[in-house]
Amino acid sequence: MVPLSLRKLTKRFGAVTAVDQANLDVNAGEFLVIVGESGCGKTTTLRLIAGLEEADSGTIFINGAPVNNVPVGQRGVQMIFQNFALWPHMKVFDEQRYSNLSLPLRVRKWSSDKISEFLRPLAWKIGIEESFFKRKPTELSGGQQQRVALGRAMVTSPRVMLMDEPLSNIDPPNRLKMRQEILAFHKENRLTTLYVTHNLADGMALADRIAVMHEGKFEQADTPEYLLRHPATDYVADFFKAEQFSHRVSAP
């Protein structure tokens, strides 16, 4: 388990400041959910931590060490993207060849038997049926692709897991199961996890703490119960009231 800290982290895209001197501390082994309205900087923050974007200023610390200049593949960070980012020419799973699920393990020189022993139970856990194995991503539904993306991230045993709306295309019956599997994987592998979502119900169910982001800054980070009872700013109070109202209106 490793801690993660952001200090005055800033990222601009032309005249737009996506992340504005953001400060955040994530405890070792914590499951922290980031919420906020669209365009507030949530995804950009994850991309900065992963090394997919370069910060204009500020510092990212992982396990107490600055990683701004550490290459993407050496940070011990894995990110699950909202748009899946699967290899389109590879099948879902083939223990004998490179495939979307087996690629990270084949690169590590795992044997075919060991890959099969590890991946088949994992695929079953997160709802990847054996009938999907020989398909390519274009032959899967959005929800099926998302499950494959989640499975691929899980096989790499990262120190820090970053998730950008990983359940956005999962149907409601499978959503609760996927929540449970994500949380179980987080705990079993003693990860530090940052999870971005627009779905407050997902956030409340998963989070040790929730960080509310607004205009590139973190307004408040605390347990869901504390945020509901003791919002530090008007924005945090209004955000939770608006989300609760929208869920009541949309409820059947």
The 8-class DSSP code of residue 129 comes to -
Closest CA to 160 of 43, 251, 26, 55: 26
Query: What pLDDT sits at residue 114?
Result: 93
3-state DSSP assignment of residue 106: helix
Query: What pLDDT sits at residue 155?
Result: 82
Which sign, positive or negative, has the C-alpha torsion 26, 6, 201, 120?
negative
Containing 252, the helix (H) or strand (E) segment is none
CATH topology of domain 1-76+160-252: Rossmann fold (3.40.50)
The 8-class DSSP code of residue 37 comes to S
Please give the C-alpha separations between residue 231 and each of 6, 19, 203, 227, 235, in angstroms, as whole numbers. Answer: 22, 22, 16, 5, 8
Read off the pLDDT of residues 72-121 as tens digits, 9 standing for 90 and up: 878 989 888 766 678 899 999 998 889 999 988 998 899 999 999 999 99
Query: What pLDDT sits at residue 244?
Result: 56
Query: What pLDDT sits at residue 81?
Result: 77
Using the structure block, give the residue that is written with the tokens 């295309």.
169
Q: Tens-of-pLDDT digits for all 252 residues of the chain? A: 689 999 999 999 999 999 999 999 999 999 999 999 999 999 999 999 999 999 999 999 999 999 999 998 789 898 887 666 788 999 999 988 899 999 889 988 999 999 999 999 988 887 888 999 999 999 998 778 878 888 888 787 788 999 998 887 777 777 888 888 888 888 988 899 999 998 888 899 999 999 999 999 999 999 999 999 999 999 999 988 876 544 443 444
Using the structure block, give the residue that is written with the tokens 């075919």.
112
Query: What pLDDT sits at residue 245?
Result: 42
Q: Which two three-digit tokens encode residue 193?
A: 């996890």
What is the C-alpha to C-alpha distance for residues 179 and 163, in angstroms, rounded to an integer? 12
Query: What pLDDT sits at residue 91?
Result: 95
